[in-house]
Structure 1
Amino acid sequence: MEDTATENALKQVQAPRILHIATHGFFLEDHPISVAEERRGLSLAAADGLRALPRLTAPVENPLLRSGLALAGFNTRRSGDEDGVFTALEAANLNLFGTQLVVLSACDTGLGDIANGEGVYGLRRAFAIAGAESQLMSLWQVSDFGTQSLMARYYEKLMAGMGRSEALRAVQLEMIREGGRYSRPYYWAAFILAGDWRPL
């Protein structure tokens, strides 16, 4: 979908059974850093010389504004409603009542601010508020190829009738037992499931 994977397109989604979003995700710590270019309080800075990640340029209290997804238009420096930054706050306003599973196949999508007695404020909470029964997300920056392998296997197991949580565990154990590159925890351990664990 690349160029058509815009904020407006995502905002038009009406309660699909499964919503799979494969893109770049982010969670920004609450302390700003000094950088030159910014957009909606965010800036792109090179990380490890390989890819650009957003960084805060001013304090932002609401963690739902510091967590989000990079969609089409993110790298074009446009401003306004279609800047390519889809925040968790925007995600909370989606109509996902009836959506059984949201898969966030992206980096850092399970991160957020922890509030005592309330849990984690970030994309997970946002998609739950929007009505999604369960969310599959990551706790750190993930490998594109390792994630692609994990996701393909995950969907195979879901289609075979496994529960949402059981399918994830089965894939993770498979990756460990196979040995090789993807057996390392970096490739499979980032992903967690929150919410309803039963089969679809």
Structure 2
Amino acid sequence: MRLVANNKRGHKKPTRDLGSFLFAPENLTFGALSGTKAEVEAIAPMLSKVTLLTESNATENAIKQVNAPEILHIATHGFFLEDLEEVAPPILVGNFHTDIPNRETNKLENPLLRSGIALAGFNPRQSGDEDGVMTALEIANLSLGGTKLVVLSACDTGVGDVNVGEGVYGLRRALALAGSESQVISLWQVDDFGTKDLMVKYYQRVLNNEGRSEALRQTQLEMLGTEGYQHPYYWASFIPSGDWREMRD
């Protein structure tokens, strides 16, 4: 199993700066998350053969090295950037105007480049192969064939761009393309410590042979009945995707 915690979760919306976005958006910043390290440290004893990566060890390269773990749990920032409609200004050619899309705009037309997760090195920004950003396109190339469950304990991990006939492009799709059987993802920015409590309860149920989807539903019902967590903000963001059954050896 791989458990990764980067001490960040919520995010600020970036400005629409095409030149600074691709792979290392200078206008996308993340605040500290004190609950993520506690989250994975609480889950780790429940599992066997755990590789725990926290803080500066939770790098992009470390994630790329995973090879079909049974469970992959990543607690960090997730982000999704809405479609950028701006193109380069019209260029005058003779007596005609022609709209030539900016090269960076063309790159961003792939929806898998507009969602991703932030890892060690994102703040401050690094250069080279370790920019601290792992896009959905990069995640789609991970080796997750045989991985039974991927949990993205982050904000905005389930949203993506919709193309007719293609479904939702985003981290969920990327994880499915990488080969994972099932995913737990979020639809909006989530509470740091509320998520920790939810995840611990979820793993207790999953490891007790409850179905992956049913375990999440029962966990959310339990949160609904817990003082301080009754509001859907704390638990309704997370949804299951993929194989709903219990995990089997």
TM-score category, normalised to shorter length:
0.7 to 0.9
Structure 1 position 89 matched with structure 2 position 137: yes
Structure 1 position 184 matched with structure 2 position 231: yes
Matches of 1:187 and 1:197 in 2, distance apart? 22
TM-score by length of 2: 0.68
For structure 1, the residue ranges without an aligned partner over 5 or more in a row are 34-57
TM-score by length of 1: 0.85
Q: Give identity over the alignment, percent.
A: 69
Which shifted more, 89-98 or 180-189? Answer: 180-189
Matches of 2:177 and 2:157 in 1, distance apart? 15
Structure 1 position 11 matched with structure 2 position 44: no
User: Residue 105 of structure 1: CA displacement?
Assistant: 0.2
Task: Point out 4+ residue stretches in structure 1 off by more than 2 angstroms.
Answer: none
Matches of 1:149 and 1:117 in 2, distance apart? 37
Cα deviation per residue 1:97-126 (whole Å; 9 max; x = unaligned)? 000000000000001001222210000000
Cα deviation per residue 1:66-104 (whole Å; 9 max; x = unaligned)? 100000000021122100000000000000000000000
- Look up the equivalent residue of 2:80 and give its one-letter code: F
Matches of 2:85 and 2:133 in 1, distance apart? 18
Matches of 2:165 and 2:195 in 1, distance apart? 32
Residue equivalent to 1:173: 221
Number of residue equivalences: 175
Determine helix, strand or coil for the equivalent of 2:78: strand
Structure possessing the higher radius of gyration over alpha carbons: 2
Cα deviation per residue 1:131-158 (whole Å; 9 max; x = unaligned)? 0001100000000111001000000001
Matches of 1:62 and 1:182 in 2, distance apart? 37
Residue equivalent to 2:242: 195
Q: Kindly report the root-mean-square deviation, in angstroms, between the aligned alpha carbons of the 2 structures.
A: 1.2
Residue equivalent to 2:40: none
User: Residue 177 of structure 1: CA displacement?
Assistant: 2.0
